[in-house]
Amino acid sequence: MTFEKAIKERVIFFDGAMGSLLQARGLPAGEPPSSWSIANPDAVMQVHKEYIEAGADVITTNTFSAALRADGEEMSKAAVENAKAAIAMANPGRDVYVAFDLGPTGRLLQPMGDLAFDDCLDAYRKIAKAGAQSGADLFIAETMSDLREMKAAVLAANEAGLPVVATITLEENGRTLTGASARCAVALLEGLGVDALGMNCGFGPETALQFLPEFLENSSTPVIVQPNAGIPVVIEGKTLYKCSPEEFALMMRRICESGSLLLGGCCGTTPEFIKALNTACKDLNPPRPRKKDAVIASSATASVLYEHGKTMVGEGVCAKNPQAAKAYREKDFEALIDEAMDDGSEMLAIDFSGFDEEEEMLPRIVESIQEFVKSPLLIRTENPKAADAALRLANGRPVLDLTGAANCEAEPLLVEIGLKYGALILRGNSFIRRIH
């Protein structure tokens, strides 16, 4: 049975932590666990085997920090081979899937950091391709705190052609480190067509239960929850987790009953946790996700329920604004940013269709403005190259308004581009595709 079919039929159990178990087997402090995919494959295979024997349906490759490594592709191939070898060793007599781990790069993307989006995307492409070619069954883009980095990982995974699971990490305030809410993440990830989405790391199952409703209320996609074994404490220089496997499993049962269909663990969890989780939840039949009619657009940190004719769309960065048009012709990005910041609408329209240099200017405008403006973007263009560049760089889930491009020669290509980058595609009073 394929992974896509399995998640439609039953609860799916993922594995738990990898790094702490490798450290217990001798991984030196400060050395990335992923290095042992090549340096000590036997230890990695043993951890995988223990999780399979504990009841995990999905084991995650030891590639959490592989994206920017010089040996990332070699490491990726070795990690998949280790996982598949562990399945053969365990001989579970059931389907066990290999999830290729696309973890964070460890660097901040521009403008907060120095890593360009396209460089980030290329890094994920290399290891995702290696993982898919080596026989992984799916991707898991996990522990993401920046939606732009998540977008790069999922785009790379989509290009490699396997199912995708995606999880963000939330802070105590219910937002990621860069300020995204669960609803922002749901909008982006459903636009990109992931097979499951949710949260992992950062907190224990009790806190995860508090955050879960925002995912379930906004998502038409199966939700995954992989919390830590509680909040860690440091005692005599050692990081310890106070939550027991039994306590973890009881809370996770409540999470499953609420509607989470994919369950697993993160930091501090072990095969004992996954065994207890499996025992507590394997016979449950949680409610399936309901298709939501709501159409949510988002930026990096804000989301809006888009209703045509009701949602306030500002025209501060459009040709009909004389100051914005003048700034466009003069390539005065500071003035364009000023017009955008003065707009104050629920959504900000960007429209210089047919202007000279649109292919160069539109993506630069999008990238410049979203650094300062929280509002989701509505982009109008009839230029496929401009649309491709702008939507690739857009943070969150923008609206691509094709009303003016309806029935034009470029419309089918514009639709294809919009879907690739997860945009909401508006034509007239309706969306070509609302929710994946």
DSSP assignment of 349-385: EEE-TT-TTHHHHHHHHHHHHTTT--S-EEEE-S-HH
DSSP-derived letter for residue 344 is -
> Which neighbouring-strand residues pair with 234?
239
The pLDDT, as a whole number, for residue 406 is: 67
pTM for this prediction: 0.95
pLDDT band at 231 (very low <50, low <70, confident <90, very high): confident
Q: How far is CA 65 from CA 116, 132, 279, in A?
A: 18, 17, 31
As a whole number of angstroms, the distance between CA 54 and CA 158 comes to: 30
Q: Please check the confidence at residue 435 and state whether its pLDDT lies above 80.
A: no
Q: What is the mean pLDDT of residues 402-412?
A: 80
Q: What is the CA radius of gyration of the chain?
A: 22
Burial of 343 (0-12, 13-18, 19+ CB in 10 A): buried
pLDDT digits 0-9 by tens, 385-400: 999 999 999 999 999 9
Q: What is the mean pLDDT of residues 152-171?
A: 98
Q: Do 350 and 363 contact (CB within 8 A), yes or no?
A: no
- pLDDT > 90: percent of the chain: 86
Domain covering 3-281, topology: TIM Barrel (3.20.20)
Helix (H) or strand (E) holding 143: strand 138-144
Domain covering 296-431, topology: TIM Barrel (3.20.20)
- 39 CB-near residues (< 8 Å, 6+ apart): none
Burial of 369 (0-12, 13-18, 19+ CB in 10 A): buried
As a whole number of angstroms, the distance between CA 35 and CA 417 comes to: 37
pLDDT digits 0-9 by tens, 264-322: 999 999 999 999 999 999 999 999 998 887 789 999 999 999 887 788 898 899 999 99
The pLDDT, as a whole number, for residue 292 is: 84
The pLDDT, as a whole number, for residue 112 is: 84
- 402 CB-near residues (< 8 Å, 6+ apart): 411, 414, 415, 418, 425, 426, 427, 432
pLDDT digits 0-9 by tens, 62-114: 999 999 999 999 999 999 999 999 999 999 999 999 999 999 999 999 888 89
Whole-number mean pLDDT of the chain? Answer: 93
pLDDT band at 234 (very low <50, low <70, confident <90, very high): confident
The pLDDT, as a whole number, for residue 276 is: 98
pLDDT band at 241 (very low <50, low <70, confident <90, very high): confident
E-assigned strands of 178-222?
A: 196-200
Q: Do 270 and 16 contact (CB within 8 A), yes or no?
A: yes
Instruction: Give yes or no on whether 3-281 and 296-431 have one common fold.
Output: yes
Q: Please check the confidence at residue 434 and state whether its pLDDT lies above 60.
A: no
pLDDT digits 0-9 by tens, 358-383: 999 999 999 999 989 999 999 999 99
- 108 CB-near residues (< 8 Å, 6+ apart): 114, 115, 146
pLDDT digits 0-9 by tens, 251-279: 999 999 999 999 999 999 999 999 999 99
The pLDDT, as a whole number, for residue 306 is: 85
Token look-up 């009790």 returns: 206
- 203 CB-near residues (< 8 Å, 6+ apart): 170, 172, 211, 227, 228, 231
Residue ranges per domain, the chain? Answer: 3-281, 296-431
> DSSP assignment of 287-315, as one string?
PPPPPP---EEE-SS-EEE--TTTS-EEE
pLDDT band at 433 (very low <50, low <70, confident <90, very high): low
The pLDDT, as a whole number, for residue 430 is: 72
Q: Do 64 and 285 contact (CB within 8 A), yes or no?
A: no
As a whole number of angstroms, the distance between CA 399 and CA 60 comes to: 34
Query: How many residues appear in the chain?
Result: 436
Tokens for 88, please give them: 């053969």
pLDDT digits 0-9 by tens, 42-64: 999 999 999 999 999 999 999 99
User: CA 215, 216, 222: angle at the middle one, nearest 5?
Assistant: 95
Q: Do 77 and 39 contact (CB within 8 A), yes or no?
A: no
